[in-house]
């Protein structure tokens, strides 16, 4: 318990460590309620979990999985959606059944109603056991973007410039300006938070984070209020002198 940093040499070593962390967590509690981020940072971690699933097909059988966030306005099967990402990299290779997975529809008729639907399902599944997060270069968590205030539950988010330029949107024909995301209350309700950071482009935001000043202008700093966070990062992203 507390806040723990684990710093590895590079992205591969970080991913190995993170996959081991998640796997141990699930071995201890097979029916875990998990929330997973998408993005570049955890790709290799999920690949390694998929390899584990190949040799131990029952490992992830009972896991319940929530999608952290989603781009708003893209068709669900669009190559850029978080839905597509999680299905291809996690759901299918890990053999997680359809009824154990839930997340925002990327193109709902009524986004407000979609947020309420997710809120209800989230409450029904009960407390998150493990929430796996990445961080935006501007300090966002999911699509909880920096601002004067943050939203507790599932909500529609106006995306910042940085988020709109995210590599996941490279193949999107139309501009995406909004997202759907779980809120800070959802994230912070998790028993355990695993924050993954990799690459020198994350060093400035991690330097801010390491000041231990809690502010809605840096949503990741809210993790300092959580009693059980492990941050696995690589040398490029974390300045070891500031620990």
- For position 66 contacting ligand GLP by CB under 6 A, the verdict is no
Of the residues 11, 145, 166, 234, which is catalytic? 145
Among 22, 68, 182, 206, binds ligand GLP (CB under 6 A): 68
Handedness of CA 55, 61, 63, 67 (dihedral sign): positive
CB under 6 A: which stretch of 3-11, 19-27, 135-143, 182-190 binds ligand GLP? 135-143
CB nearer to ligand GLP: give 15 or 38.
38
* DSSP-assigned beta bridge partners for residue 2: 228
Q: CB neighbours of 101 closer than 8 A, spacing ≥ 6?
A: 64, 65, 66, 67, 86, 91
- Residue 110 is among the residues annotated as catalytic for this protein: no
Q: How far is the CB of 197 from ligand GLP (least distance, A)?
A: 8
Residue 183 contacts ligand GLP per CB under 6 A = no
* Catalytic residue from among 69, 70, 129, 234: 69
Per CB under 6 A, 70 contacts ligand GLP: no
Cβ atoms of residues 38 and 88 within 8 Å: no
Binding marks (x or -) toward ligand GLP, 150..169, rule CB under 6 A? -------------x--x---
- 41 binds ligand GLP, rule: CB under 6 A: yes
Task: Give the Cβ contact number of residue 171 at 10 Å.
Answer: 10
Burial of 225 (0-12, 13-18, 19+ CB in 10 A): exposed
Q: Is the CB of residue 53 less than 8 Å from the CB of residue 94?
A: yes
Return the residue of 15, 38, 106, 221 that touches ligand GLP, per CB under 6 A.
38
The site for ligand GLP, by CB under 6 A, has a size of 13
Strand partners, 36: 67, 132
3-state SS assignment for residue 30: coil
Q: Which stretch binds ligand GLP (CB under 6 A): 9-17, 34-42, 58-66, 89-97?
A: 34-42
Q: Determine the Cα angle at 137 with ends 134 and 140, to 5°.
A: 60
Per CB under 6 A, the list member of 19, 37, 65, 72 interacting with ligand GLP is: 37
Q: Please count the residues of the chain.
A: 243
* Chain residues in the site for ligand GLP (CB under 6 A): 37-41, 68-69, 134, 136, 142-143, 163, 166
Q: Which positions are annotated as active-site residues?
A: 69, 138, 140, 145
């Amino acid at each position: 318990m507390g806040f723990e940093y684990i710093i590895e040499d590079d992205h591969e070593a970080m991913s190995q460590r993170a996959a081991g962390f998640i796997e141990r967590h699930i071995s201890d509690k097979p029916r875990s309620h998990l929330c997973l981020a998408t993005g570049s940072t955890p790709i290799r971690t999920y690949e390694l979990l998929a390899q584990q699933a190949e040799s131990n097909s029952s490992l992830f059988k009972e896991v319940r999985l929530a999608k952290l966030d989603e781009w708003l306005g893209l068709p669900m099967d669009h190559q850029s959606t978080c839905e597509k990402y999680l299905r291809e990299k996690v759901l299918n290779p890990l053999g997680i059944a359809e009824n154990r997975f839930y997340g925002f529809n990327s193109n709902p008729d009524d986004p407000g109603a979609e947020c309420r639907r997710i809120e209800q399902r989230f409450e029904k599944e009960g407390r998150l056991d493990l929430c796996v997060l990445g961080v935006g270069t501007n300090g966002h968590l999911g699509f909880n973007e920096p601002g004067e205030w943050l939203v507790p539950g599932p909500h529609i988010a106006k995306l910042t410039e940085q988020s709109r330029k995210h590599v996941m949107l490279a193949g999107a024909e139309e501009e995406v300006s909004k997202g759907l995301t779980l809120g800070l209350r959802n994230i912070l309700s998790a028993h355990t938070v695993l924050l993954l950071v990799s690459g020198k482009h994350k060093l400035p935001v991690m330097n801010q984070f390491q000041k231990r000043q809690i502010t809605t202008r840096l949503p990741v700093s809210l993790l300092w209020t959580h009693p059980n966070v492990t941050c696995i990062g690589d040398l490029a992203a974390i300045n070891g002198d500031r620990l």
